[in-house]
Amino acid sequence: MQKIQEFWEWFEKNHESYNGFNKRYTYNREEAEELLSSLTEALHKYSKGLFVELSNDDEKQELIITAQGNKEFFADAIALVEHAPSIGSWNFIALKAAIGLNFNFQMGEVTINPDDLLFMPLEAEEYPNDIAVRLYHKDYTQEEGATRNAIIVGLYAALNMYLGEVATALDFDYIDFDDMPHPKEQTFAFSELKDYVAYKKGQRPNAEQEFPTENIKLLEGKIEALPQLLVVNQALQHYEFTQKFPYLLTMTLELKNAGENGLPQGNTDEIYEIEDVVYQEIFKANKGHFVATETYNKKRHLYYYADKKEESIESALNLLESEYETCSVSSKVKFDPFWVLCEQYLKI
């Protein structure tokens, strides 16, 4: 929170230098780039994964905080903008919004025009709920080099403009590229991609369900010869309402009664008591969701997402005992509105 405050104090002190930035960039590019560099440097003191885009003229002043499609920093962008003060006529925006199909731009010598683009759905029987597509651009080449890189960057930029930064990064499970479709491949206009994504989302078992029925799966594996036990709520795969439950509670139980294999042995009543207290207070009370537990190497990790940090999570933790005979308990809470930190469990 302190770094967020420091950034906004810096911007409040310097914001007048960025008034009319678009005109300044046109008439004095060197000065404008120095200003942009200073702004980026100040932002990176808060989060090195964030960047800025300025859109301002005589009618509007906008500062867009973007993660350039890197979902690991989406939470940083949202947290920063949520704590933005009122500064003049500036409007602060977290992550680039969709602008539709009204774009046509150059990436080096490559032109990206939505009217020229096609896509093909990629379906896999073993992954029926995934969204995977192939994008076609006439100049795409399999040969590595500047042209291919420019086209890939350009196509991702086109997706960002059409669908928005968040949807581009989170809605697709797989994207690949080609030049022109083979005769037997069924393709569609790029303009139909948004409807296709909405259709695929609507076909999922948990579509439009804020509290889908739990689907618990037990998985066993090994890490460096030690057994690993996972309990995963698979009903939350491709969950739509993550931003309603943005706080990740991670509880770590240090197992005092673990055997040489790292798993608990003997009396496990306290472990299940702890789990049940949190489960009842968060999930059963409709304040959040159980995601997974992982037991490995004398530790048991519990993962929950909740709607509020204070009322939901802290109220659950306050119900626990201060000490337990068979384990010690610690916890941490992180702001994770798109559930990126538990992605490894939600994709199993």
Express each pLDDT in 139-172 by its tens digit: 999 888 889 999 999 999 999 999 999 999 999 9
Give the pLDDT score at 107.
83
245 and 131 within one domain: no
236 and 339 within one domain: yes
pLDDT tier at 57, thresholds 50, 70, 90: low
SS3 150: helix
Identity of the residue numbered 140 = Y
Identity of the residue numbered 163 = L
231 and 184 within one domain: no
Any domain includes 330: yes
Contact partners, residue 66, CB within 8 Å, separation at least 6: 50, 51, 52, 53, 77, 95, 96, 165
- Taking 80 as the threshold, does the pLDDT of residue 63 lie above it? yes
Any domain includes 253: yes
- Domain-terminating residue out of 168, 202, 236: 202
126 and 48 within one domain: no
138 and 69 within one domain: no
**Per-chain mean pLDDT for the chain:** 94
- Taking 80 as the threshold, does the pLDDT of residue 79 lie above it? yes
Q: What is the pLDDT averaged over residues 15-27?
A: 80
Given a contact cutoff of 8 angstroms between Cβ atoms, the answer to whether 178 and 140 are in contact is yes
- The rounded Cα 246 to chain-centroid distance in angstroms is 11
121 and 87 within one domain: no
174 and 72 within one domain: no
Give the pLDDT score at 109.
84
- Taking 80 as the threshold, does the pLDDT of residue 256 lie above it? yes
Any domain includes 328: yes
Any domain includes 36: yes
- Taking 80 as the threshold, does the pLDDT of residue 58 lie above it? no
138 and 228 within one domain: no
Any domain includes 209: no
Q: What is the pLDDT averaged over residues 93-98?
A: 96
- For the chain, the domain total comes to 3
Q: What is the pLDDT averaged over residues 336-348?
A: 96
Given a contact cutoff of 8 angstroms between Cβ atoms, the answer to whether 7 and 80 are in contact is yes
235 and 114 within one domain: no
227 and 117 within one domain: no
CA 3, CA 36: separation in Å to the nearest integer?
19
- Taking 80 as the threshold, does the pLDDT of residue 25 lie above it? no
Specify the pTM. Answer: 0.92
Cβ burial 273-308 (10 Å sphere, 16+ → b, else e): ebbebbbebbbeeebbbbbbbbbbebebebbbbbbe
- Start-to-end CA distance of the chain, whole Å, equals 33
Given a contact cutoff of 8 angstroms between Cβ atoms, the answer to whether 348 and 269 are in contact is no
Task: Show the domain range for 40.
Answer: 2-94
Any domain includes 187: yes
- Domain-terminating residue out of 44, 59, 94: 94
pLDDT tier at 31, thresholds 50, 70, 90: confident
Determine which of 26-35, 53-62, 303-312 has the lowest per-residue pLDDT on average: 53-62
184 and 144 within one domain: yes
Given a contact cutoff of 8 angstroms between Cβ atoms, the answer to whether 49 and 76 are in contact is yes
Give the pLDDT score at 59.
67
* Nearest CA among 300, 314, 236 for reference residue 270: 300
Q: What is the pLDDT averaged over residues 218-224?
A: 94
- CATH code of the domain covering residue 287: 3.30.70
Give the pLDDT score at 215.
96
Any domain includes 99: no
Q: Which residue do the tokens 């009217």 mark?
A: 115
- Taking 90 as the threshold, does the pLDDT of residue 220 lie above it? yes
168 and 110 within one domain: yes
What tokens appear for 164 in the block?
């928005």
- Domain-terminating residue out of 44, 68, 94: 94
Any domain includes 100: no
The bridge status of strand 288-296 relative to strand 226-233 is antiparallel
